[in-house]
């Protein structure tokens, strides 16, 4: 059976077509061409419409083909064998129309404009001293391996190591289509319950680590005035070799209006460290702006997947029981070792599905 799109969807598709024509005209406007930031913004907005327009063109062609096949199959004067072929073609094209209609409806649903952006994952030790620092390292490796399984690019932006192989904090950059959609629910407090290596009595300790997932901002998103920054340089600390520790390569940037501070010391080059720190700072300021815009969040969404706030306990990793429990969707998996090796899709997919339902 041929599934024709409802008139409301056709109207939306026509609006997209008109919007595309308007954006094309703007891209040839001398005023826009003289403003690189505005040109980039419009070009990106135009590119985001390509898939929708392609689907609409396929749909219009398919509707025409279905109409022609329908006429032929119902033509009483036609050869019966030819009618039968037209009937088969009509059925095949109608099945395609069902899948195409679903795809169009899906792409027309409102989505987060930042859904396909790259992101930063900031992992920090909370309560628990050395145990918390060690677990920062465990989560860093878990997210790195998870990203590699999905063929996303991972880059270490900054780290602050402890003397026992752990980290006070780590910042990773993750780049790749779908990365933010899958990782955005990781923000919050991650609790670990295990016996520390230094615990002779075998007593289980509970420690916490905070995770923040931040959309990577672009220059067109946030404008930062140079006069609002205080930039300090100093010698990098911790492992890294003599060259790192004796030159003023580490950078600390303070955004004076907000008090936001970002440090970066992992590169030998002060210029590279400054560039990385600015990426993180711009993204943190965007996060603040988005939070301001989205303060009113539906109660049902908060109750199901949480706000993603850093004060929420979202997940527990219990080593004795070989268990990982996500408290937001009440899901427990008894495969902790696999999860720490980056196989966290069962948890992620549950969160994504729950989040898209609310």
pLDDT for 237-273, tens place per residue? 655 444 445 577 888 999 998 888 998 887 778 888 8
The predicted pLDDT at position 110 comes to: 66
Whether residue 43 is found in the same domain as residue 101: yes
Kindly state whether residue 2 falls inside one of the protein's structural domains: no
pLDDT for 156-198, tens place per residue? 988 888 878 899 999 999 999 889 888 999 999 999 999 987 6
Kindly state whether residue 138 falls inside one of the protein's structural domains: yes
Whether residue 211 is found in the same domain as residue 310: yes
Residue 103: phi and psi, rounded to 5, are -65, -40
Tell me the percentage of the chain whose pLDDT exceeds 90: 35
The predicted pLDDT at position 218 comes to: 76
Whether residue 323 is found in the same domain as residue 347: yes
Whether residue 27 is found in the same domain as residue 59: yes
The predicted pLDDT at position 297 comes to: 37
Kindly state whether residue 113 falls inside one of the protein's structural domains: no
Whether residue 139 is found in the same domain as residue 253: no
Q: Which residue has the tokens 């008894």?
A: 334
Kindly state whether residue 323 falls inside one of the protein's structural domains: yes
Kindly state whether residue 14 falls inside one of the protein's structural domains: yes
Instruction: Out of 67, 89, 108, pick the residue that ends a domain.
Output: 108
Whether residue 87 is found in the same domain as residue 22: yes
Report the number of distinct structural domains present in the chain.
Answer: 3
Whether residue 318 is found in the same domain as residue 192: yes
**Global pTM exceeds 0.75:** no
Whether residue 158 is found in the same domain as residue 252: no
Could you give the C-alpha distances from 284 to 217, 294, 297, in angstroms and in order? 8, 15, 20
pLDDT for 104-153, tens place per residue? 887 887 666 677 788 999 999 999 889 999 999 999 999 999 999 999 99
Domain that holds residue 181: 119-216+297-357
Kindly state whether residue 139 falls inside one of the protein's structural domains: yes
Instruction: Out of 293, 323, 343, pick the residue that ends a domain.
Output: 293
Whether residue 211 is found in the same domain as residue 317: yes
pLDDT for 215-241, tens place per residue? 888 766 777 888 888 988 888 765 544
Q: How far is Cα 184 from Cα 207, in angstroms, rounded to an integer?
A: 22
Q: How far is Cα 268 from Cα 248, in angstroms, rounded to an integer?
A: 9
Instruction: Out of 293, 326, 344, pick the residue that ends a domain.
Output: 293
Residue 118: phi and psi, rounded to 5, are -75, 175
Whether residue 183 is found in the same domain as residue 309: yes
Report the CATH number at residue 307: 3.30.70.1660
Per-residue pLDDT averaged across 279-299, rounded?
72
For 95-99, 186-190, 247-251, 299-303, which range has the lowest pLDDT when averaged over its residues?
299-303
Kindly state whether residue 44 falls inside one of the protein's structural domains: yes
pLDDT for 318-356, tens place per residue? 999 999 999 998 999 999 999 999 999 999 988 887 765
Report the CATH number at residue 260: 3.30.160.20
Whether residue 75 is found in the same domain as residue 193: no
pLDDT for 74-84, tens place per residue? 887 777 887 88
Whether residue 19 is found in the same domain as residue 87: yes
């Amino acid at each position: 059976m041929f599934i024709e799109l409802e008139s409301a969807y056709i109207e939306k598709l026509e609006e997209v077509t008109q919007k595309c024509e308007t954006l094309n005209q703007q891209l040839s406007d001398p005023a826009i061409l003289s403003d690189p930031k505005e040109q980039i913004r419009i070009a990106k907005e135009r590119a985001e419409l390509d898939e929708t327009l392609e689907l609409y063109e396929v749909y219009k062609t398919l509707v025409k083909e279905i109409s022609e096949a329908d006429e032929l199959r119902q033509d009483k004067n036609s050869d019966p064998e030819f009618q039968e072929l037209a009937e088969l073609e009509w059925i095949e094209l109608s099945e395609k129309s069902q899948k195409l209609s679903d795809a169009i409806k899906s792409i027309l649903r409102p989505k987060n404009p930042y859904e396909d952006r790259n992101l930063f994952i900031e992992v920090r030790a909370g309560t628990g001293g050395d145990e918390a620092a060690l677990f920062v390292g465990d989560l860093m490796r878990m997210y790195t391996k998870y990203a590699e399984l999905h063929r996303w690019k991972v880059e270490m932006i900054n780290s602050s190591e402890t003397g026992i192989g752990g980290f006070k904090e780590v910042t990773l950059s993750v780049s790749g289509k779908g990365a933010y959609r899958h990782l955005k629910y990781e923000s919050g407090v991650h609790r670990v319950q295990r016996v520390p290596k230094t615990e002779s009595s075998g007593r289980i300790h509970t420690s916490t680590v905070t995770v923040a997932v931040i959309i990577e901002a672009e220059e067109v998103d946030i404008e930062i005035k140079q006069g609002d920054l205080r930039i300090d340089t100093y010698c990098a600390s911790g492992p890294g070799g003599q060259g790192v520790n004796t030159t003023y390569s580490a950078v600390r940037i303070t955004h004076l209006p907000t008090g936001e501070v970002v440090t970066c010391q992992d590169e030998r080059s002060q210029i590279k460290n400054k560039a990385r720190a600015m990426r993180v700072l711009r993204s943190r300021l965007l996060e603040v702006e988005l939070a301001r815009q989205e303060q009113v969040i539906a109660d049902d969404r908060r109750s199901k997947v949480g706000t993603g706030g850093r004060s929420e306990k979202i997940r527990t990793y219990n080593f004795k029981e070989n268990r990982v429990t996500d408290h937001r969707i009440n899901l427990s998996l008894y495969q902790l070792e696999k999860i720490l090796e980056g196989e966290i899709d069962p948890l992620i997919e549950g969160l994504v599905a729950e989040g898209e339902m609310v």
